Amino acid sequence: MYKKQGGSNFAKRPSTGGGNSFSRRPSSFGGKRNGGSGRSRFVGSKIDVSRYINKAVITEVIPDFKPEHMFSDFLVDERLKQNIITKGYTVPTPIQDRTIPHILQGKDIVGIANTGTGKTAAFLIPLLNKVIKNPAEKVLIVVPTRELAQQIEEELIGFARGLRIFSVCTVGGSYIGKQLQGLRRSHNFVIGTPGRIKDLMERKALDLSTFKSVVLDEADRMLDMGFIADMKYMMSRMPKDRHTLFFSATMSREVEALIKDFLRDPISISVKTGDTAKSVEQDVVRVEKGKNKIDALHDLLIQTDFSKVLIFGKTKHGVEKLHKDLIARGFKSESIHGDKNQSKRSRALEAFKGDGIQILVATDVAARGIDVRDISHVINYDIPATHDDYIHRIGRTGRGGKKGKALTFID
């Protein structure tokens, strides 16, 4: 049996005796990476394992965040305020506290914040208030993935309950006919991914010249996924006097160039405290030579604190195989990857959200934008290709101020 060691929340089997064992020793080899690509891609197994270890040792005391507002203080329509209260919102997160007043005043915003910090409500609440004040107002929300678009629409529906404000979700992998029908009906919000939005524009089904407000959410990921040309195409078709809200988890020269192109005298707000959330404890799992990797994973997953686990694999085939192997071992598991159609991916995600399954196995692309509460662990079964990918993976846990754990398998 596994025995918990010290203060750690995952266990280690001693290397003596039978069974499949693993250890948590930092690697002795360095962090050599190739250069020139702009994305620090790891070369082979030459990785800096210390980047995957963070035992949450307190080295400095940071004062608790003290919000300047309560949600009841914001100058928004009383019906919207009631919906906010009904959803359980009372004290704003830092990004909400700092950005909502500026957005209500019509200022362009650059918001830099870690994932899971409440960015969606930060822009939805003031934009919904804008639509209440002017029912002719139209808002475009552009995101990198269909899952994120669908989650934003769910949030919008909750905030807009009873206000007769409607949205259309336009994403690839879903039936375009339904989206075309939605665009022909009355709506104030269009939420979508760059490729599908561009497709609808080219079909003359979506005219962005009537949209005076735009949100670019997770802009850094859209750049990573190759959407820069589509983003520029969309923005060039919008009014020059538009209201632009720009959110990103990271800041690079490419992101700075987009800000310069797309925004006018923006208010820059950063509540980012580092590459990774302080609420995520990170460690490595080294599978001993001659031992089976999936057996080590199995012995982790049977522990009671591994209640809701997101596992990352490198390839679509590898993710599907791991999912089937876990099913064969009796685990409640699902998978999401590019070979699964949208309906199957949505069902898998809903089962994970609703505690119908314990484990979701995913590729990086399929998991981008996933916002599921109470993920107890992120497991990097395959090492991520870049450190940025690692940051985005482990950002799925430890959200909303809760604690989470991230484990990376090292062969």
Backbone angles phi, psi at 408, to 5 degrees: -120, 125
Residue 147 vs residue 45, higher pLDDT: 147
* Alpha-carbon distances of 73 from 51, 66, 85, 92, 130, rounded to whole Å: 41, 15, 12, 10, 17
Measured distance CA(115)–CA(109) in Å, rounded: 17
Q: What's residue 235's pLDDT? A: 95
Measured distance CA(215)–CA(212) in Å, rounded: 10
pLDDT in tens, 192-232: 999 999 999 999 999 999 999 999 999 988 887 889 999 99
* Residue labelled with tokens 């999401």: 336
Please check whether residues 260 and 368 belong to one and the same domain.
no
Average pLDDT of span 264-293: 80
Both structure tokens of 104 = 């209500």
Please check whether residues 318 and 405 belong to one and the same domain.
yes
Whether residue 38 is predicted with pLDDT greater than 60 in this model: the reply is: no
Report long-range pairs for 270-274 (Cβ below 8 Å, ≥24 apart): 270/111, 270/112, 270/113, 271/93, 271/94, 271/95, 271/98, 271/111, 271/112, 271/113, 271/114, 271/117, 272/112, 272/113, 272/114, 273/62, 273/114, 274/114
Q: Looking at 235, 270, 305, which one is the last position of a domain?
A: 270
Q: Binning pLDDT at 50, 70 and 90, where does residue 182 land?
A: very high
Provide the domain count of the chain.
2
Full residue range of the structural domain in which residue 358 is found = 22-60+275-410
Average pLDDT of span 80-96: 92
Q: What's residue 369's pLDDT? A: 62
* Angle at alpha carbon of residue 151, lines to 261 and 321, rounded to 5°: 105
Whether 17 is in a domain gets the answer no
Please check whether residues 169 and 245 belong to one and the same domain.
yes
Residue 137 vs residue 276, higher pLDDT: 137
Measured distance CA(359)–CA(361) in Å, rounded: 6
CATH number at residue 281: 3.40.50.300
Q: What's residue 42's pLDDT? A: 36
Cβ contact 263:291 at 8 Å: no
* Residue labelled with tokens 């915003």: 109
Whether 203 is in a domain gets the answer yes
Q: Which residues contact 124 (CB under 8 A, 6 or more apart)?
A: 152, 155, 156, 159
Mean predicted lDDT score pLDDT of the chain: 82
Cα radius of gyration (the chain): 22
Q: What's residue 236's pLDDT? A: 94
Whether residue 47 is predicted with pLDDT greater than 60 in this model: the reply is: no
Please check whether residues 375 and 263 belong to one and the same domain.
no
pLDDT-wise least confident of 36-50, 277-291, 311-325: 36-50
Whether 12 is in a domain gets the answer no
Please check whether residues 27 and 128 belong to one and the same domain.
no
Asked whether the whole model's pTM tops 0.85, one would answer no
pLDDT-wise least confident of 1-15, 119-133, 137-151, 356-370: 1-15
Average pLDDT of span 295-313: 94
